[in-house]
Amino acid sequence: MQSLESLDPRTPVIVGVGQFAERIDDGNYQGLSAVGLAAAAAAAALDDAGCDQRSLIDRIGTVAGIRQFENSTPRAPAPLGRSDNFPRSVADRIGADPAHAILEVGGGQSPQHLVTELSRAIALEELSDVALIVGSEAISTVRQLATAENKPDFSERRGGQLEDRGYGLSGLVRRYHSTHGLTDAPSQYALFENARRARLGMSTREYAGAMGELFAPFSRVAARNPLSAAPVERTADELATVSDRNRMIADPYPRFVVARDQVNQAAAVIITSVEAARELHIPSEKWVFIHGHADLVEKPLLERPDLSRSPAATRASEHALELAGIDVGGLATIDLYSCFPIAVFNVIDRLGIDPDDPRGLTVTGGLPFFGGAGNNYSMHALAETVIRLRREPGSFGFVGANGGTLSKYSAAVYSTTPTAWREDSSARIQSELDEARGVDVATVADGAVTIETYTIKHGRAGKLGVVVGRLVDGRRFLATTLDGDEAMLSLLESGEAIGQAAYVRSIAQGNRITTDRAAADKWLPHRKARLRSDYEFVTVHRDEHVLEVTIDRPEARNALTPRANDELDEVFTAFFDDPALWVAILTGAGDKAFSAGNDLRYSASGKPMWVPKNGFAGLTSRRHMTKPVIAAVNGFAMGGGFEIVLACHLVVADPSARFALSEVNVGLVAGAGGLVRLPRMVPEKLATEMILTGKQITAETGLAYGVINRVSSPGSVLDEARALAREIMAGSPTSVRVSLAVMNDTAAIPDTLDAVAHHCNAMDELMVSEDMFEGVAAFGEKRRPQWRNR
């Protein structure tokens, strides 16, 4: 034990904590904004420090803020407005003028992470010696007043210096997840919960009871906490039993065991150096020290080896205790982030803590009952821990803070016992976690599979099963159930699905899981693509062996919606399947545009988005294009339109044609092949400039660099494309098809001689084809060959 007198003057110490909350049904309800709530908590923390407040305020050099939900994702709604500089708005309210303001990344780990980070910075003299951390949520008030006739305006244009660290969503938000229903926290955490249930061999009824037994003591703590958003004590049976009030959200979660976000809560922490605390005459009985700490990050959800565990959380907890020099038995208080039961189970399973430990697993009441105050819950846990440790000097308290989907974990051990700053080994442990082999992920899944875990989402539109499974090669995939497939839903609802065989089939909108192949054939039958005459967005014209395809949306510059892409995909699948069709020509209606790519107005409408498995226009991701497709570019080919052009074998352009990968100008990237194909076609510097600036090139420039084959005379691009098609058809269609197949097979072989020596099965097809014999015979007989394409 170190004495106060022997401490390094730069040793960080927590000297003040504050909390504030208001409920709409309270008699003294004020309807405060997030800034107003945070300022009230900051004022309470200043008062808690027990010194001259003006002197303390003047010493605050850093104010760090926790993001609200309305500022945690791009374009998140803020119905009543918000401050453009939350930390400085709060500082203004308390009369502080810090040199540095920070807006931390999102995630429930952020309060604890900031405490550790700023404490380290004070210890290493990288930061001023007094820092204030504040966080708040006014979700309940915003929802209450958003539609009020005289609703308040919480907007503030504060400006000023701000270190905005971003949303912190990297690795957490995936298009693959969202297209398969994983758009909310309950459904993602439910996957972990059901995986743990299966590992323990528990029935759904048994596990529901275990969740109730875990959280019933939390509700008792919340019922005694005047700051709780839901101060109601509930029994284990109440929590476990589904009812009208406790409706199922995502199996196995009924509403009562899910974090409560309708809160008006705020908390604040003041950290100083020991030297500053002495100079400000802050009583030493207020001082609380960090004895151990750790910050770790988990692998992306689908890459984790075991979906029933989070080693990042447990290793962080163990390391914080190790650094503090105590074990779990030495803790007087424990607060584990409790957004969902699995976040608690995961830690206590590893640390050997009983769910009914007499010390309790929360000091506040937990997120479902005290309130899941956005990213800021653990600031409340820390504040309450500090208060309890002061009441019992020399005792130790643990705070575990979780962010993302068991993705980021920050843990710390606190005590009034003086200690020097201790550096942790989180970087070393993180390297070990990163080096552990993850699971390979398949975004497109087809065939027999095994169910690994699942959830069933319950919404107004009905039930949706979301399944994580393994293909026979071990790769992990996501899939959802099909509307009307009661057999698959019944299997999931039985609680015995994990480890069972099933069948998955991919479609444009994602992977769909059924009980077996017969069910897949019933719900998603393989239909042979055939050309139709009643397309909505496309016209087709067949001229003997040539198929002319026209994107028919001239009013939208031939931009493509999901349904337009589906039609093109159907058309080109029919083209490649029809032996009587040898060449295809793709063009756009009108004379202004070949295609403007993705229809941005449609994308911005909020309607469902998807792209066929074969990519834009059914071409950009198609693997087996063994018949020539000619792009007849009659105007602008922009963004996805240019990517379609790059995917075609041959390109003819009108002199007025313009080409550009313009995605960067609308916040997108050329992800349908443009980023790959263009640098392989043109000089690297030109490709880079076009990709990074959206620069347009003319038809002549495209011709010079080999992007296009021919420039037609004005207005005759389709005639020129037809002429090119006739030149191709003068040769053997079998030879053309085999040539393209060999080119495709050898494209990825870097060494020329290796590529030449590579055996392609298509060559065997040629050797026994009628066209080869006909070609040789016609040459010897000095006549035109009569190709049979077989």
Give the active site residues: 643, 663
Answer whether 485's CB lies under 8 Å from 513's CB. no
Report in angstroms the alpha-carbon separations of 761 from 264, 767, 770: 68, 10, 17
Token pair 């509307």 in the structure block, residue:
483
The closest of 66, 48, 40 to 270, measured between CA atoms, is 48
- Give the separation between CA 548 and CA 567, rounded to whole angstroms: 14
Specify the length of the chain in residues: 790
* DSSP code for 481: P
**Is omega for the bond preceding 355 within 30 degrees of 0, making it cis?**
no
* Contact indicator for 550, 558 with CB cutoff of 8 Å: no
Rounded distance between C-alpha atoms, residue 562 and residue 605, angstroms:
13
Within a 13 Å sphere around the CA of 98, how many CA atoms are in the beta-carbon half?
A: 31
729-740: b (≥16 Cβ within 10 Å) or e = beebbbebbbbb
d(CA 256, CA 244): 11
| β-sheet bridge partners, residue 546 | 543, 583
Residue 489 CB-half CA count within 13 A: 13
CA distance 60 to 467: 50
Q: How far is CA 429 from CA 226, 345, 399, 534, in A?
A: 39, 22, 19, 61
Distance CA 397, CA 541 (A): 76
How far apart, in whole angstroms, are the C-alpha atoms of residue 126 and residue 202?
51
Q: How far apart are CA 93 and CA 110, in angstroms?
A: 23
SS3 706: coil
Burial class, 518, CB count within 10 angstroms (exposed 0-12 / middle 13-18 / buried 19+): exposed
